[in-house]
Amino acid sequence: MPQLDPDVFLPQLVWLAITFVVLYVLMVRTALPRIAEVLEARQERITHDLDAAASLKAEADQALAEYEASIAEARANAQGMLAEAAEERARRASERQAALDERLDARLREAEARLAEVKTAALGHIEEVAADVARTATARLIGVEPDDEAVAAALAAAKGDA
């Protein structure tokens, strides 16, 4: 093998150095600038993506805050509507209760008026009934039917004693 021959080591080392220098120069002038451009573009894209992500995160946070605010507002509106409905229900119930009380009071006054009329009528008839009872009792007890003036005088006298 010629690589292992010590007589050819020096020319091989020279050619190795020349090849290394040529490849190094080619790499520095062509490949490395392209690689640097690719890395720089990649870094710019990553930076741009991170900025876009931060911007989108800020927008998402703002949208979340607006959503939570709208939810809180909706809840407050719902509570207000429930309170209004409860007040309306209480107002209607009190109106119905007042109307019912008014009707019951009217019926009670009517019933009291009728009761007073019936009482007056009964008291008016009580004298007639008492006169009939006195006349009938006198007729049965003594066998004589008294006249109307005697019965009225007896009732007036009994009324005066009471």
C-alpha separations of 4 from 9, 12, 15, 99, 137 in Å: 8, 11, 15, 124, 171
Query: Looking at residue 161, what is its pLDDT?
Result: 64
Query: Looking at residue 59, what is its pLDDT?
Result: 96
Residue 152 CB contacts under 8 Å (≥ 6 apart), including other chains: 131
Please give the sequence-ordered ranges of beta strands (E in DSSP) within 76-130, or none if there are none. none
Q: Is the pTM of this model over 0.85?
A: no
Q: List the domain boundaries for the chain.
A: 8-161
Mark 56-78 as b/e (b = at least 16 C-beta within 10 Å). eeeeeeeeeeeeeeeeeeeeeee
Per-residue pLDDT of the chain (162 residues; tens, 9 = 90+): 666 777 888 888 899 999 999 999 999 999 999 999 999 999 999 999 999 999 999 999 999 999 999 999 999 999 999 999 999 999 999 999 999 999 999 999 999 999 999 888 887 788 788 888 888 888 888 888 888 888 888 888 887 765
